[in-house]
């Protein structure tokens, strides 16, 4: 009994923690913090000033209209963030390709730039003799390394 109790309590704690994390992620994902803040405001009005919020008087009607507007604002935020995530996903699927041409023969070589097909977070700068690899870290590129191309000799 003494060994099982800590395991049971740990299981309950982990379950409650996972449930609260899920609820918090849903609240943030769907923008429900605005209606929840409005509900907290209504709770404050009810406790502090004894305002009846659901008796369809003028005060309760104004509160319910405000609550409805907060739900509409949460829905708009959810749609906008969903569209933003979709556009980010769509953008990450496309291959960035740049083929620069030298204007002068003495100018440095312009690389071909594209995203790696193996690892989508890697940007590849391809030169005639090597690949320079950069990791996409938000709004900047971090140098990850260089891989040299194998020289192809004449075959017999």
Does 27 fall in a domain? yes
The verdict on 77 and 126 lying in the same domain is no
Name the band, by pLDDT with cuts 50, 70 and 90, for residue 98: low
Statement to judge: residues 61 and 14 lie in one domain: yes
Residue 93 has pLDDT above 90, yes or no: no
Q: Which two tokens stand for residue 17?
A: 């923690």
Residues 84 and 133 in one domain: no
Residues 6+ apart with CB under 8 A from 26: 32
- Confidence grade of residue 154 (pLDDT, cut at 50, 70, 90): low
108 in the same domain as 74: no
Residue 154 lies in a domain: no
Count CB neighbours of 59 within 10 A.
14
pLDDT of residue 156: 43
- pLDDT tens by residue, 52-71: 888 888 888 999 999 999 99
Q: Are residues 52 and 109 in the same domain?
A: no
- 51 Cβ contact list (under 8 Å, min separation 6): 45, 59, 60, 63
**What domain count does the chain have?**
2
How far is the first Cα of the chain from the last one, in angstroms, to the nearest whole number? Answer: 79
One domain for residues 74 and 116: no
Give yes or no: residues 67 and 109 share one domain: no
pLDDT-derived band at 133 (thresholds 50, 70, 90) equals: very high
Output the pLDDT for position 111.
Answer: 83
Domain extent for 113: 98-148
């Amino acid at each position: 009994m003494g060994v099982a109790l800590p395991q049971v309590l740990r299981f309950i704690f982990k379950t409650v923690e996972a449930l609260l994390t899920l609820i918090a992620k849903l609240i943030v994902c769907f923008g429900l913090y605005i209606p929840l803040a409005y509900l907290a405001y209504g709770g404050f009005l009810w406790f502090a000033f004894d305002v009846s919020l659901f008796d369809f008087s003028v005060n309760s009607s104004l509160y319910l209209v405000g609550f409805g507007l907060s739900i509409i604002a949460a829905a708009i935020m959810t749609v906008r963030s969903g569209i933003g995530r979709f556009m980010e996903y769509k953008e990450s699927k496309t291959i960035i390709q740049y083929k620069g041409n030298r204007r002068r023969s003495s100018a440095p070589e312009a690389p071909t730039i594209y995203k790696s097909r193996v690892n989508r977070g890697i940007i590849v700068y391809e030169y005639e003799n090597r690949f320079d690899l950069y990791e996409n870290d938000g709004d900047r590129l971090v140098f990850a390394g260089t891989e040299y191309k194998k020289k192809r000799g004449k075959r017999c």
